[in-house]
Chains A and B, each alone.
Chain A
Amino acid sequence: MSVPTNLKYSKSHEWVKSEADGTVTVGITHHAQELLGDMVFVELPEVGRELKQKEECAVAESVKAAADVYSPISGEVIAVNSPLVDEPGKINEDAFSAWLFKLKTKQCC
Chain B
Amino acid sequence: MLKMTPLNQTHRDMNAKMVDFGGWDMPLHYGSQLDEHHKVRQDAGMFDVSHMLPVDIKGDNVRGFLRRLVANNVDKLTLPGKALYSCMLTPQGGIIDDLIIYFLSETWFRIVVNAGTADKDVAWMLKQRDELAPSLEITPRRDLAMVAVQGPNARTKVWQVIPGSQAATEELKLFQSAVVNQYFIARTGYTGEDGFEIILPAADAPSFWKALHAAGVAPAGLGARDTLRLEAGMNLYGQDMDETKNPLESGLAWTVDLKSERDFIGKQALLDTAVTQQLVGLVLVDRGVLRSHQQVVGQHDGAEYQGEITSGGFSPTMNQSIALARLPVQIAVGDEVNVVVRDKKLRAKVVKYPFVRNGKVLV
A and B interact:
yes
Question: Is A38 a contact of B289 with CB atoms below 8 Å?
Answer: no
Question: Is B342 a contact of A63 with CB atoms below 8 Å?
Answer: no
Chain A: minimal CB distance from B182 (Å): 35
Question: Is A41 a contact of B289 with CB atoms below 8 Å?
Answer: yes
Q: Which of B29, B33, B287 is close to A41, meaning CB atoms less than 8 Å apart?
A: B287
What is the chain B residue whose CB lies nearest that of A64? Answer: B223
Q: Chain A, 17-55, contact with B by CB distance < 8 Å: what is the 0/1 string?
A: 000000000000000000001101101000000000000
Is B314's beta carbon under 8 Å from chain A? yes
Q: How far is the CA of A41 from the CA of B284 in the complex (A)?
A: 13
Question: Is A63 a contact of B313 with CB atoms below 8 Å?
Answer: yes
Is B164's beta carbon under 8 Å from chain A? no
Q: How far is the CA of A37 from the CA of B29 in the complex (A)?
A: 9
Is A76's beta carbon under 8 Å from chain B? no
Is A7's beta carbon under 8 Å from chain B? no
Is B291's beta carbon under 8 Å from chain A? yes
Question: Is A61 a contact of B289 with CB atoms below 8 Å?
Answer: yes
Residues of A within 8 A of B29 (CB): 37
Most buried by A among B313, B314, B321: B314
Q: Chain B, 312-327, contact with A by CB distance < 8 Å: what is the 0/1 string?
A: 0110100001000000
The answer to whether A41 and B291 touch (CB under 8 A), given A59-B342, A63-B33, A63-B223, is no
The answer to whether A37 and B287 touch (CB under 8 A), given A59-B342, A63-B223, A64-B223, is no
Residues of B within 8 A of A38 (CB): 32-34
Please report the total number of A residues contacting B with Cβ < 8 Å: 13
Chain A: minimal CB distance from B38 (Å): 11
Is B227's beta carbon under 8 Å from chain A? yes
Question: Is A66 a contact of B223 with CB atoms below 8 Å?
Answer: no
Chain B: minimal CB distance from A35 (Å): 10
Is B216's beta carbon under 8 Å from chain A? no
Is B288's beta carbon under 8 Å from chain A? yes
Residues of A within 8 A of B288 (CB): 41, 43, 61
Q: Chain B, 19-54, contact with A by CB distance < 8 Å: what is the 0/1 string?
A: 000000000110011100000000000000000000
Question: Is B314 a contact of A63 with CB atoms below 8 Å?
Answer: yes
Most buried by B among A43, A59, A64, A85: A64
What is the chain A residue whose CB lies nearest that of B341? Answer: A66
Question: Is B289 a contact of A40 with CB atoms below 8 Å?
Answer: yes
Question: Is A66 a contact of B33 with CB atoms below 8 Å?
Answer: no
Question: Is A40 a contact of B314 with CB atoms below 8 Å?
Answer: yes
Q: Chain A, 74-92, contact with B by CB distance < 8 Å: what is the 0/1 string?
A: 0000000000010001001
What is the chain B residue whose CB lies nearest that of A34? Answer: B17
Residues of A within 8 A of B321 (CB): 41
Q: How far is the CA of A92 from the CA of B313 in the complex (A)?
A: 18
Q: Chain B, 224-260, contact with A by CB distance < 8 Å: what is the 0/1 string?
A: 0001000000000000000000000000000000000
Residues of A within 8 A of B28 (CB): 37, 64
Residues of B within 8 A of A40 (CB): 34, 289, 314
Question: Is A37 a contact of B33 with CB atoms below 8 Å?
Answer: yes
Q: How far is the CA of A66 from the CA of B344 in the complex (A)?
A: 14
Q: How far is the CA of A85 from the CA of B28 in the complex (A)?
A: 25
A-B pairs with lowest CB-CB distance, top 7: A40-B314, A38-B34, A61-B289, A63-B33, A41-B289, A38-B33, A37-B33
Would you list 16 pairs from A and B whose C-beta atoms are within 8 A, ordered by A residue?
A37-B17, A37-B28, A37-B223, A38-B33, A38-B34, A40-B34, A41-B314, A43-B287, A59-B342, A61-B314, A63-B316, A64-B28, A64-B223, A66-B291, A66-B342, A85-B287
Chain A interface (Cβ < 8 Å from any Cβ of B): 37-38, 40-41, 43, 59, 61, 63-64, 66, 85, 89, 92
Extra 6 A-B pairs, beta carbons < 8 Å, given A37-B17, A64-B223, A85-B287: A38-B32, A38-B33, A40-B314, A63-B33, A63-B313, A64-B28
